Amino acid sequence: MALRENFPNEPVKITLPRIYDPRGSLTVVEEQNQIPFDIARVYWIYDVPGGEERGAHSHRKLQQLMMAVSGSLDIEVTDGFTTKVFTLNKPFEGLYLPPGIWRRMFNFSSGSCLLSIVSLPYDEKEYIRDYDEFIENARKRGPIITQE
């Protein structure tokens, strides 16, 4: 069965392949192998001043994998019902986010770099940046995040 059919439809941390070598480690992400979507775009966030936050939006259809390829940061995610905080601090760990998740990134360490691999080209119309609109959509749709 294809990875996309088996993959959890909620925010989940995944451990990526780590290829050890005396020369250093290498981590790889391939579409339909570690992630359940085809890669349309890659961007990275760096030089974040101490105390700054980013995000505060959700996506209508976009799926993504985020990795702290250096340093660390926290990501708070909510589906409008349940809120969780994930810490990214290893270059071989990623956080998968399906559509419909409001996210906020904070606690960026000095020198951190947040790499994001996403399923769609950039399109501002694909964002929900208004929290009230997000909550209205969430109420119509129902929960995404499994409560532990």
- Whether 57 is a known active-site residue: answer yes
122 touching ligand T46, by CB under 6 A: yes
**Residue with Cβ nearer ligand T46 (64 or 107):** 64
Part of the chain binding ligand T46 (CB under 6 A), chosen from 6-14, 26-34, 40-48, 132-140: 40-48
Total chain residues near ligand T46 (CB under 6 A): 10
Q: Which one, 64 or 112, has the nearer CB to ligand T46?
A: 64
| Short-list 78, 82, 68, CA closest to 103 | 78
CB proximity list for 94: less than 8 A, separation 6 or greater: 13, 14, 16, 29, 34, 35, 65, 66, 67, 88
Euclidean distance between CA atoms 98 and 71, whole angstroms = 24
**Under the criterion CB under 6 A, does residue 113 sit at the interface with ligand T46?**
no
| Cβ pair 71, 114 in contact under 8 A | no
Position 54 contacts ligand T46 (CB under 6 A): yes
Looking at 31, 55, 87, 92, which residue binds ligand T46 (CB under 6 A)? Answer: 55
